[in-house]
Amino acid sequence: MGLDASRLIKAASGFPLPPGIHFSYGTAGFRADGSILDCVVFRAGIVAALRSLNTGSTIGLMITASHNPIQDNGVKIADPNGDMLSQEWEPFAESLANESNLENVVQVVEDFMQKNGVFKVSASSGKVLLARDTRPSGGRLLDAAKQGVEAIAGVSAEVIGVLTTPQLHWMVRATNRGVGASEHDYYSQISSGFKCIVDMIPMRKNLASPSELVIVDGANGVGAMKLSGLQAIIPNVQLNVRNCGSEGGILNELVGADYVQKERKFPQNFGHASDLTKMCASFDGDADRIVFFYSQKSEDAEGITLRLLDGDKILTLLAIFIQKHLQELRSEVHWLSSVNFGVVQTAYANGASTKFLKENLGVEVVLTPTGVKHLHHKAAQYDIGIYFEANGHGTVLFKEEFFAVLTKTAPSEFRTEAAYKAARLLLAISDVVNQAIGDAFSVLFLVESALQYMNWTIQDWDAIYKDLPSRQLKVKVQDRAVLRTTNSETKVTHPQGLQSAIDMEVAKVTCGRAFVRPSGTEDVVRVYAEAATQDEADCLARGVAIHVHNLAQGVGLPP
């Protein structure tokens, strides 16, 4: 086989599996308290090394727990194109992470190698790029990952150091495409795309100032530290970065995109009267999520309230911006008339956003299960596909064939200047976005360039539609596996009768919608409800939660 079993066992013996704990491969890898992850991260290094041999490409491994508390950590694996590890490899990663017998560890690896055609490891060569965020446990875990990679003969580990998650994914993609893949190259690509869009802004009076201030909540994480690299080369935007972690702030504690989006509260050091109406953005801990917000006076004029623009609003803005230029191309260049454009959401998307996309923009909208890996895969099927979760994680994907056509088409082949300009704008957008994964940096500057181009304020953007009030709850259950849903997670298929009970509750409110889904990481059932008013949304969520609770307790459904 080529696997050096003694080498692997010797390396693995230094990373014993914690007793009594089962590690699950979630929507973005493994995640747990950082103090117990050494063994799991070591074995994730083995998986990344084998994936590199299997694909003949560079693979990435990131040590981060994203928006989780500072004591947690985790590991994500990036595939050759920069996206998440192939779902076909997830069961292998999970079984390897939970095998306590070292001899069996070798057997699990050998069986998987045999099945996937990874032969003669010692004669092969592979490479894994390793990085981490700013968590205290990151350095130790990065070393464990490095030892895991190097436990497989013929694979080298390159430690890049402290990066945002999107930076690592971008570098993996760039490396395998044979283009510049340094951190400087990353900054330069975003900057050049942003400048190109801004340079093509139509001349008009009362243009929104290109130096308008954007206040950024860095979540006391790696994003706050790394954003300076872009600030230095993009003069068109003034950034005021707060919660940088340098003044005693704690990673993700009362700060960050997840806190703002879930709690609908200002992060620390925000919400002052001096910030009123200014555009604000909040990253999460590893800077792969972003949400926007601004403050306005309360209706009673005695306080300040937060106006949130989440992933749904981001997706809608980008859909408007991209569709405008795509329509220009379709109307003027006949061989681009068949280009398909679509957006991908989950059931958690606010119903008002989906309705606006379908009815006002005429855009195709499809739903996938929760988890970026599902949305990314579906969006990649379009010539231009946009996906965002409400939590602010998403990006824009351009199919290679479409991108190649735009790149190679000479200016003389476009019938009008408007069509040529539209093609250049789409190419510039493809430079700003991170096509490997959601990226707070790229979305920040793409949103800013879109607003400048359309001469919109954040208030104009917010006004394109009004969110339906919603409420999310979770119900503890003994076994979440008893609840099964359709592929889009909008309907319950088992246990029988639960969907009818949900429909009954929905019928009691105006503009109601509700669904339930089992958590991917813990024994709880998540409940989502929305309605015309917040009171109705709250009542709907509670009513659905009661049905789930009764079933979990064996009480059954009401007659």
As annotated, the binding site for Mg(2+) includes 66, 284, 286, 288
**Active site annotation includes 95:** no
SS3 146: helix
CA nearest neighbour of 306 among 395, 215, 221: 215
CA distances from 470 to 92, 473, 487 (A): 38, 10, 22
Question: E strands, 178-303, where?
Answer: 213-217, 238-242, 279-283, 290-297
List the beta bridge partners of residue 485.
492
SS3 280: strand
Q: Are 152 and 158 contacting, i.e. CB atoms less than 8 angstroms apart?
A: no
Non-local (6+) Cβ contacts of 55 within 8 A are 79, 80
Q: Virtual CA dihedral for 318, 323, 324, 328, nearest 10 degrees?
A: 150
What does the alpha-carbon distance between residue 314 and residue 88 come to, in Å, rounded to a whole number?
A: 31
Q: Are 179 and 185 contacting, i.e. CB atoms less than 8 angstroms apart?
A: yes
Give me the residue label for tokens 């003694």.
6
Give me the residue label for tokens 């699990």.
108
Q: Which of 6, 13, 66, 100 is catalytic?
A: 66
Q: Which two tokens stand for residue 449?
A: 């360039």
CA nearest neighbour of 242 among 228, 260, 224: 224
What does the alpha-carbon distance between residue 59 and residue 145 come to, in Å, rounded to a whole number?
A: 13
Q: Which two tokens stand for residue 517?
A: 């889904």
Q: Which two tokens stand for residue 112?
A: 């998987």
What does the alpha-carbon distance between residue 446 and residue 314 come to, in Å, rounded to a whole number?
A: 10
| 450 HSE (CA, 13 A, CB side) | 26
What does the alpha-carbon distance between residue 64 and residue 430 come to, in Å, rounded to a whole number?
A: 26
Treating both helix axes as pointing N-terminal to C-terminal, what angle do 138-150 and 38-55 enclose, rounded to 10 degrees?
40
SS3 25: coil
As annotated, the binding site includes 66, 284, 286, 288, 389-391, 517-521, 526
| Sheet containing strand 213-217, strands side by side | 238-242, 213-217, 279-283, 290-297, 304-309
CA nearest neighbour of 501 among 533, 548, 555: 548
As annotated, the binding site for substrate includes 389-391, 517-521, 526
Q: What is the largest CA-CA distance in the chain?
A: 73
Phi, then psi, of 472 in degrees rounded to 5: -120, 135
Q: Are 285 and 392 contacting, i.e. CB atoms less than 8 angstroms apart?
A: no
Task: Give the residue numbers marked as catalytic.
Answer: 66
